[in-house]
Amino acid sequence: MNTEEIKSLLDSLADYIPQASQWEQGFFESVKAQFDRKHILSDKQLGTIQKIAGKFSPKAIREREVWYGSFTDAQRETMRVCADYYKGTGYYKDLVHSILNNSEFVPSPKQYKMLCENKYAAKVLDAYGSEPRFPVGSLATLRKVRSNGYLAISGAPAWRDINVLVLTTNEPIVSSAKGAKRYKCMIVGGTDTFYCEERDLKKMKRGKK
């Protein structure tokens, strides 16, 4: 690109830069200042500017408008389930906070794919949507060896072979391991409730109370 073409690109991009990411805004300002002084950009700088400009092409803008205008309740539920999981991992903190604290928040296509379309998210969504082995109202027994997720729960029963009543089966998933479907249970004969994963439970032997 010649000097005039680069100047035209920078001038046209300036109108859209307020909508860009913080890093992109900073990069643009730095490159624009350099170009104003020296009237030249490196190939790498120019490539990055063209990549940023591509995000604001008529086609890209239309695609984003379609995405934000057609975001479904099913996608929002998927996003929430994944955000509940990632809340405990420390990853994607800002994105997770926006999802869990703003019911109207819609992520960018890139953010949605990053959060909800990876191998860990697939396991979490599979666990959340799977048919519970222990339906609400059923009785079960806590296994002797339990998951790390269970052991980390403050106030959970520590003794073995305790019988429990299943109260809910759709609690937020906190692990991507097999058997991670999460339950809220109550100790049989008591009033204390706690959370555990499906892999922490086994069928209660008939006649055992």
pLDDT digits (tens, 9 = 90+) for 131-152: 999 999 999 998 876 666 554 5
Residues 145 and 199 in one domain: yes
User: Within 10 Å of residue 147's Cβ, how many Cβ atoms?
Assistant: 19
* The pLDDT value given to residue 138: 95
* The pLDDT value given to residue 149: 56
Mean per-residue pLDDT of the chain: 88
Beta bridge mates, 184: 168, 195
- State which of 105, 129, 153 marks the end of a domain: 129
Do the Cβ atoms of 127 and 81 come closer than 8 Å?
A: no
Q: How many residues does the chain have?
A: 209
Residues 144 and 174 in one domain: yes
Coil, helix or strand for 186?
strand
For residue 63, being part of any structural domain is answered with no
Residues 28 and 78 in one domain: no
Q: What is the DSSP string of 58-115?
A: HHHHHHHHHHHHS--HHHHHHHHHHHHHHHTTTSSHHHHHHHHH-TT----HHHHHHH
- Whether the per-residue pLDDT at 209 is higher than 60: the answer is no
Residues 38 and 89 in one domain: no
For residue 189, being part of any structural domain is answered with yes
For residue 35, being part of any structural domain is answered with yes
Do the Cβ atoms of 168 and 193 come closer than 8 Å?
A: no
How many distinct structural domains can be found in the chain? 3
Residues 79 and 46 in one domain: no
Residues 149 and 123 in one domain: no
Coil, helix or strand for 165?
strand
Do the Cβ atoms of 191 and 205 come closer than 8 Å?
A: no
Do the Cβ atoms of 71 and 106 come closer than 8 Å?
A: yes
Residues 123 and 145 in one domain: no
- Whether the per-residue pLDDT at 91 is higher than 80: the answer is yes
Coil, helix or strand for 169?
strand
- Give the confidence band of 11 by pLDDT, cuts at 50, 70, 90: confident
Residues 146 and 103 in one domain: no
For residue 62, being part of any structural domain is answered with no
pTM of the predicted structure, to 2 decimals: 0.72
**Range in 37-46, 88-97, 149-158 the model is least confident about:** 149-158
Residues 125 and 143 in one domain: no
User: Where in the sequence is the domain holding 40, given as residue range(s)?
Assistant: 3-56
- Whether the per-residue pLDDT at 117 is higher than 60: the answer is yes
Residues 76 and 121 in one domain: yes
Do the Cβ atoms of 68 and 106 come closer than 8 Å?
A: yes
Residues 100 and 125 in one domain: yes
